[in-house]
Structure 1
């Protein structure tokens, strides 16, 4: 049965549909009022290039019926978060955007930065555009509130830390503060993060006046200082409304297939800050489609949803539906509107101005897009590749051989996706066999992880190899390319294009072709492949150097009496280099795992005593 025939049998009911690829991976998630009508539309009439590519790749379609369109929206949002399908509009690198986490489920909650959001009962605020913005907010919180910062294992030691001694922590680890008193402070932290500063000021003022009335002047003075610090922070924020409103104002910037959503956060009538978040997968989508997809992802995990969203463009039919969904999440009415005049329209213009600045920044990034377009044309690819992977091998005379995999996303390095491999078999200087092993391990892991994801035993966020490349580059000529291509073919990954880039002459080869491909070394495509290859080489050499250093350190530690395998492993984990170990004192060494004073003394004397002259 063809996919078009299967779609014709879908029910005429609201729900969610999923396009899957040959290995079961989710390519696209969508929702519909009528599953049958919506999915059939993919196979009838003229379609965009992106839809045509989706249909070509799809091996199966599934559906899930829901009770209403709002339920379908909620399920669609959750499935997009879980699978991050390549054909959906996505917050770019969504899983790496930082959040502020408040562990409200703990007796003595903590506040810290995180890039993951497990369902553990905590409150999350964000996403923030980068770690710098999070650290600045945390710095303010530490100045305003004496929160604990220690991890759970340190907290369980019940030993007061330096922060308590200098008055920056209430000391819950030593039982110095009542849990309810501490939680009252955490509620004020939540008010601050939600932008409810006026309410926070009223709370602190009331407590200060109460302490003074009870003649507790020391406590009143502490609260006075805290109040002044809060008011200083609030005073720096621009007043945009006298009505003390809470609003988010959202505009969109586009430049080709790149997008950036700009969110102005207005809390208590003041401009608290703004976020500028990258989007991908927006080509051939209307502004309304892109903005609707962004709003669903942005507010899916948000710790605070304001009662009003002001938009630069209408969301069309989805606007009322998204307003209903946000109201359910907020548990009170959320208005979603596109103001046409007055003060609210002025706020939208401010967001649009910020979006215009974001567009200018995106234009500077366009070089990578041009290189990818040039690469697509010169290699005759059906689609512009998004994820490029390069592999390289590094060794010295066949010893301590390592492999490296680097990733470029949209033409730029994505270090969080890099992977390194310790080649398991020492074969002497055999780069071909080593390349085969590394490529085989990478794609075997991809197949295994996708099977675990499909069976529900692994989430996409936990997986490290399930995302497949659109193009693979091998550092080497025809020989290395041949073994890599055979390894991928043996595992069933024949649809992924793979090329080799030979050193010196910078020639690009494809499997089965004697002559190099028409990719000039000085072309945009050639420069892109060279940068990708060079980054793989750098990453491989760096890892190999680290292994050599550790191996040399391991040999030295084997000579020290009293340092067995367990202590050797502990020292290798603690000290990345010989210089770092040599600089350690006896006291420092004695506090490392598995070490004691006698063993620490032996290590110190080995490097500094007469038994081992330097």
Structure 2
């Protein structure tokens, strides 16, 4: 491919030092971030030689690049990962879309609690996990809080709550408790979370038998259900590691321009399996694998040992993660790494064809859209409105970049008093594009309105009023409310073949903007429907409302409170107003 003078000049300036490079498109958007031991060699390799179709597609979009020199390969890797997390480049591998796994945390406080979390924050607390699913993590926390009378609330109240009266909490909020007993519970919970449930099972079985002998069959049934729950949450694959270490095992398989990454998490002899990702590959497979592991541990606990396959730069990982990284040669550990590698290959083989087909269809849809409008189309914005008989009038915007939703750019809008769908469209378009204009920001390559002639005319009116550099099109529906054509600004229809990829892409866009606007609409309606009577009483603002609910726990208890009880929280005049407001409602 021909290289622009700009790129030629910048390539000549590249140093033979380690660092990061940032590839950008014509609009200055970051396409890809990479690291290199030698910047000069790595960056030049993109513009010389033969590449596969995907890398060729990336290179064709590169208009400019920047580079940052670092002192070492380690510094380059850390900088690369921080830039990826900050900018979310579309051609980079990202760990699970920046999501983290659930853990169970047992706090180090004197009156400790046990709860689920996705953030490993306080190193003084004890963390157990990660768990393969949020549901399994939730079930375990629920079971622990049912079995042990430990603190349930995040902040201690001043009066005993329902859990105390149900004998599921010792009540440290209002009385001194036996700290030795509390610590005994802590040790039992720790053993349970480490996979040793024998002590708890024996106790529950003894309680069940005692209840049966006393003819307390309902209580016996409750203990039986607890035993069933324990069996359910403890049922995991067991492997034979006598040292009971906390260790993670990673592997990968790369082929045909895609990489499949797999991780096994071993906790106290229990194996939690998790397929991590299969993604397009635009860099050296080992670089992608290392980047992936380091990204994962930015949001998750680092175990005492990590096992990886042959060829991985162990010293670099150990330096970055400050833990033991091993390449096993024989035995159970080698068999486990081989199993992870095999799983990665199987996942790759199963998902590759589907992933490839989807990518090809997306490319075809994007190319077809560009051909229809005789220009390169990368960014598409689409709007939709929602209301109920003019009430809760809202609009939403979703943004697609190269056929993929960019949720960081989604927006929703509360609109003025409803007049018509056309007026709503004009209002939201004016607000959106006046802001882009005033902030000197990039405009989309295509504005799609969910409608035909009227909506396009409305969009054109705003375009002309603000003198906007916009290309506008509408989605025309048939009598069954199914999209049948695109309509351009001159109101000419461009029929869509329901078998072509572009039709399915436009349908996904419509469904997504409809889902987003309806979700926002329901949220506003829900807030309005749940407004309490307190919101209408003079003298009761958000702070006093919060204090009332903290003291009385529910609207029902506030309604039943006397003026004297309300005065414990409110000034006398306000307390009287609250009492009269509720009792005038009851009397009517």
Fold equivalence (TM over 0.5): yes
Hey, what does 1:404 align to over in structure 2? 396
Tell me by how many angstroms 1:87 deviates.
1.9
Tell me by how many angstroms 1:537 deviates.
3.4
Matches within 5 A, 1:375-524: 375-380=365-370, 390-395=382-387, 400-406=392-398, 419-423=411-415, 425-426=416-417, 428-429=419-420, 431=422, 433-439=423-429, 441=431, 473-481=448-456, 499-504=473-478, 506-509=483-486, 511-512=488-489, 514-521=491-498, 523-524=500-501
1:602 aligned onto 2:576 = no
Taking the aligned partners of 2:393 and 2:158, their CA distance within structure 1 comes to: 46
Hey, what does 2:206 align to over in structure 1? none
* 8 Å Cα contact 2:308-2:325 kept in structure 1: no
Hey, what does 1:94 align to over in structure 2? 98
Matches within 5 A, 1:145-160: 148-151=151-154, 154-155=155-156, 157-160=157-160
Report the more deviating stretch, 3-12 or 173-182: 173-182
SS of residue in 1 equivalent to 2:513: helix
| Distance change in 2, residues 1:548/1:169 (3 Å) | closer
Hey, what does 1:19 align to over in structure 2? 23
Matches within 5 A, 1:83-232: 83-95=87-99, 97-100=100-103, 102=105, 112-115=115-118, 130-139=133-142, 142=145, 148-151=151-154, 154-155=155-156, 157-163=157-163, 168=168, 173=173, 176=176
Pick the structure with greater CA Rg: 2
| Distance change in 2, residues 1:329/1:515 (3 Å) | same
Q: 2:335 aligns with which of 332, 337, 346?
A: 346
| Distance change in 2, residues 1:399/1:135 (3 Å) | closer
| Greater relative contact order (CA < 8 Å, ≥ 6 in sequence) | 1
Hey, what does 1:533 align to over in structure 2? 510
Hey, what does 2:68 align to over in structure 1? 64
Hey, what does 1:580 align to over in structure 2? none
Hey, what does 2:274 align to over in structure 1? 275
Taking the aligned partners of 2:461 and 2:24, their CA distance within structure 1 comes to: 26
| Distance change in 2, residues 1:43/1:134 (3 Å) | same
Hey, what does 2:223 align to over in structure 1? none
Taking the aligned partners of 1:446 and 1:124, their CA distance within structure 2 comes to: 45
* 8 Å Cα contact 1:392-1:475 kept in structure 2: yes
Q: 1:307 aligns with which of 299, 305, 308?
A: 305
TM-score where L is the length of structure 2: 0.68
* 8 Å Cα contact 1:15-1:34 kept in structure 2: yes
Q: Could you list the runs of 5+ residues in structure 1 that have no partner in the other structure? A: 203-228, 452-465, 575-582
Deviations along 1:171-199, one digit per CA (max 9) or x if unpaired, are 55557469999899879978987x6x69x
Tell me by how many angstroms 1:88 deviates.
1.0
* 8 Å Cα contact 1:20-1:58 kept in structure 2: yes
Taking the aligned partners of 1:66 and 1:357, their CA distance within structure 2 comes to: 36
Matches within 5 A, 1:251-262: 251-252=251-252, 261-262=261-262
Taking the aligned partners of 1:133 and 1:383, their CA distance within structure 2 comes to: 50
Taking the aligned partners of 2:244 and 2:294, their CA distance within structure 1 comes to: 26
Tell me by how many angstroms 1:264 deviates.
1.6
Tell me by how many angstroms 1:415 deviates.
8.7
| Distance change in 2, residues 1:39/1:517 (3 Å) | same
Hey, what does 2:202 align to over in structure 1? none
Hey, what does 2:224 align to over in structure 1? none
Q: 1:298 aligns with which of 271, 274, 296?
A: 296
Taking the aligned partners of 1:72 and 1:478, their CA distance within structure 2 comes to: 53
Q: 1:335 aligns with which of 326, 332, 335?
A: 326
Tell me by how many angstroms 1:403 deviates.
0.2
* 8 Å Cα contact 1:395-1:429 kept in structure 2: no
* 8 Å Cα contact 1:16-1:29 kept in structure 2: yes
Matches within 5 A, 1:538-553: 539-541=516-518, 543-544=520-521
Q: 2:80 aligns with which of 66, 76, 83?
A: 76
* 8 Å Cα contact 2:476-2:487 kept in structure 1: no
Taking the aligned partners of 2:52 and 2:257, their CA distance within structure 1 comes to: 14
* 8 Å Cα contact 1:21-1:60 kept in structure 2: yes
1:40 aligned onto 2:54 = no
Report the more deviating stretch, 61-70 or 371-380: 371-380
* 8 Å Cα contact 2:449-2:475 kept in structure 1: yes
Q: Could you list the runs of 5+ residues in structure 2 that have no partner in the other structure? A: 200-228, 549-553
| Distance change in 2, residues 1:538/1:247 (3 Å) | closer
| Distance change in 2, residues 1:64/1:449 (3 Å) | farther
* 8 Å Cα contact 2:101-2:300 kept in structure 1: no
Tell me by how many angstroms 1:276 deviates.
2.3
* 8 Å Cα contact 1:125-1:304 kept in structure 2: no
Root-mean-square deviation over aligned CA pairs = 5.6
SS of residue in 1 equivalent to 2:412: strand
